[in-house]
Structure 1
Amino acid sequence: MSELNLHQKLVEIRKEIGVFTKDTKGHGYSYVSGSQVLEKIQSKMNELNVLLYPEMNGIADDTFDYTTSKGQAKTDFVIKGDMVYVWQNADKPEDRIEVPWKLYGQQDDISKAYGSALTYSERYFLLKFFNAPTDDDDPDSRDTKGKYSQGSNKASDKQLNYVNSLLKKSVNEKHDYDSLYKHLKQTMQTNQDMENWTSQQASQAIKILQGGNSQ
């Protein structure tokens, strides 16, 4: 039985993490797989008897109707909600750390949306919790060979349609669409129109609108 407390054990686990590389492709982009993240730390977690599990505090689902660039009508399921990741010392179960987190997922099937949300949230929770390298070493800036991506990073039609949908849902007696759109750009600190946004800017806009910070 280890004499380390949970905080000390987590420091030992963090030491196992190096630089991650994009090892999985999907939906037109590359990303760090959840398996790569877990493989880096799982053996150390087992060695130190550390558990990690999610607790759901309330999950909501919705549908998002949009038209593709080819004119096809599509419906996606959107999963979102609050959750908590719990680190627990199996040698001393009362020794635990709770970290509030968010859950988001969007797919053409509700079960896939939920699964994607869980997988995505776990991957990025681990990357951020253990202070994985950022900036030039950020795994979302690297491909599997460690070279910087050269492809387009323009926001997709799906992202922009979703931003537009969220803006329309936020319209009320005090705020019309144009004022909400203007305030959203101010919050994002950009003068670019929506059609020129990058994928990261569209994701930022979605988070702002879902969090109710655009008004």
Structure 2
Amino acid sequence: MNIYQKLIEVRKAVPYLKKEDRGGQYSYNSSSQVVAAIREKMDELSLLLIPRIIDKNVLTETVENKDQYGNIKKRTTYFTELTMEYKWIDAENPEEEFIVPFYAQGVDIAGEKGVGKALTYAEKYYLLKQFNVPTDDMDPDQFQQKVEESKPPKPITPEQLEELEKLVERFSEIRNVKKEQVYTQALGVTTEPEKIPEGLAYNLIGQLKHWIKKATKETA
């Protein structure tokens, strides 16, 4: 596989992450959770991810407030901005590289943690966005069910279409009604069977087989 195909395999390995950490009223994904979910597949595919800081910018803001005794207290906030790039390298073929520019920021009141916070912020969000990982408070099984329910139904298969039309024709002969009436009145579906979803077609075929079996016994 080339490096792009390997990155697709990493994406396939992490279809969803539940938010497992809480801060105040909010739940979130920690950086360690995101890295742990992706790293195993990276190791398996011999992929290296190398961060690089291209430029930095630190803004400071000092605010004065009075405490309960009337003493003035100063508080300085450090806002760190990093212009970065992430470089993917295929260790099995080091000449293959994939570079992504990225931006990060971190806020700190001590001053020395701004860069670390920005790097942690960048690492987590870069990986989540690079691999299109959806996150939510749902249990993984609930999330997968929600995804499946949101998918459009699969169309009827050619084999189902052929079998359904034969059964409708047979039932129309037994009951001496038009095929259109079988679709609309007996089955309650469209007269255009090619538009019937696969799951519904399966049920209709079973229903028609049951009716035909019962009707032929009655007329025997």
Query: Shorter-chain TM-score: what band?
Result: 0.5 to 0.7
In the alignment, structure 1 residue 54 sits paired with structure 2 residue 34? no
Are the counterparts in 1 of residues 17 and 140 from structure 2 also a CA contact under 8 Å?
A: no
Partner of 2:150: none
Alignment of 1:135-214 (within 5 A): 138-139=135-136, 142=137
Change (3 A) 1:90 1:61: same
Partner of 2:120: 119
Question: Which TM-score applies when normalising by structure 2?
Answer: 0.56
Deviation per residue, 1:62-91 (Å, 9 max, x gap):
2123468x8964211111021101111011
- Distance of 2:35 and 2:125 partners within structure 1: 11
Q: Which has the higher helix share?
A: 2
Are the counterparts in 1 of residues 82 and 118 from structure 2 also a CA contact under 8 Å?
A: no
Deviation at 1:51?
Answer: 0.4
In the alignment, structure 1 residue 14 sits paired with structure 2 residue 11? yes
Deviation per residue, 1:121-165 (Å, 9 max, x gap):
1100000110112xxxx44xx378999xxxxxxxxxxxxxxxxxx
Aligned to 1:110, the other structure's residue is in SS state: coil
Deviation per residue, 1:173-213 (Å, 9 max, x gap):
xxxxxxxxxxxxxxxxxxxxxxxxxxxxxxxxxxxxxxxxx
In the alignment, structure 1 residue 78 sits paired with structure 2 residue 79? yes
What amino acid is aligned across from residue 45 of structure 1 in structure 2? Answer: M
Partner of 2:180: none
Change (3 A) 1:74 1:87: same
- Distance of 1:74 and 1:30 partners within structure 2: 28
Partner of 2:32: 35
Partner of 1:160: none
Partner of 2:22: 25
**Which ranges of structure 1 fall in alignment gaps of 5 or more residues?**
148-215
Change (3 A) 1:26 1:75: farther
Are the counterparts in 2 of residues 23 and 144 from structure 1 also a CA contact under 8 Å?
A: no
- Distance of 2:110 and 2:138 partners within structure 1: 29
- Distance of 1:7 and 1:144 partners within structure 2: 30
Aligned to 1:37, the other structure's residue is in SS state: helix
**Which ranges of structure 2 fall in alignment gaps of 5 or more residues?**
143-220
Change (3 A) 1:143 1:43: same
Are the counterparts in 2 of residues 21 and 146 from structure 1 also a CA contact under 8 Å?
A: no
What amino acid is aligned across from residue 48 of structure 1 in structure 2? Answer: L
Partner of 2:129: 128
Q: What percentage of aligned pairs have identical amino acids? A: 36
Change (3 A) 1:29 1:126: same
- Distance of 2:131 and 2:140 partners within structure 1: 23
Change (3 A) 1:56 1:102: same
Question: Which TM-score applies when normalising by structure 1?
Answer: 0.57
Are the counterparts in 2 of residues 22 and 144 from structure 1 also a CA contact under 8 Å?
A: no
CA RMSD of aligned residues (A): 2.9
Partner of 1:63: 60
- Distance of 1:78 and 1:25 partners within structure 2: 24
Are the counterparts in 1 of residues 11 and 131 from structure 2 also a CA contact under 8 Å?
A: yes
How many residues were matched structurally? Answer: 138
Aligned to 1:45, the other structure's residue is in SS state: helix
- Distance of 1:145 and 1:73 partners within structure 2: 46
